Structure 1
Amino acid sequence: MTHQPAEFTEALAAVLRDLRAQCPVQPHVREEDDYPGVMLFAPDGSGQGVYAEGDERRPAVLLAEVADQVQGWAVEALWAAGVSAVWPGCPEHPDTHPLTATVEKGAAVWVCPWSGAVACGVGELPSGG
């Protein structure tokens, strides 16, 4: 990623770490000349754009926005692959619903949407969950 704002590039790298840690479907990431962000392509060839404006004063908001967009891509790619379309999975409620990216206390975190419990920071999902 060469022409993306540094804040966006760092946020995307963190979320892609989470994908590598816990998602069986991995994207092919590509920059497009006519799109300000990046395109994520699934194995079936479908693609989705990911972009958020960099904001040095609110990096956690940018990170949560990127995580939300990548999560949308992952759910669609998992469904298309015929596997459970839950990513990232909630450790409190396995195989029921995904975690939600949000900002709490100035940090981007994955939380359970049912209990509000913080699972971990965005970019810090443990492997294999």
Structure 2
Amino acid sequence: MAEDDPFADLGETLEDEPDDEPQDTDEGSESGATEETPSQESVEPRDPMTDTAFSYEAAKQRPFYARQATIEDFDSWLKYELERELNQQGYQNIVVREMTDALLRTVVEEDLVEEVAKRFEQARESDFSESGE
């Protein structure tokens, strides 16, 4: 049934939003104060170790369609590998949107077309060999 509804998993995608909102709510109220008095902006410098790179409002959410096992592996890697690494480097207030943005920029900037194409081909070949075709 989920195959018929392209938006069936939208609720699952939106589950990540609460992780981002609390930090942005505080940040949003601070930025709201600086919007009212622009001179305060220069008084309060941003700290890259604690302040997020961009606000929740600046992000565009897009659903990703992948197999459940791939999503679970990705979520584990994101939370237990990447977030831990960033935390060890001293970063605080780490939010999913920043890690996802960095990941997408890495794929594009490192020109991983050949590697992604290879994984695509492996998945196709694996699925065909499993189904006996």
Q: TM-score, normalised by structure 1?
A: 0.28
Q: TM-score, normalised by structure 2?
A: 0.28
State the structure with bigger RCO (CA 8 A, min sep 6), 1 or 2. Answer: 2
Bigger proportion of residues as strand: 1
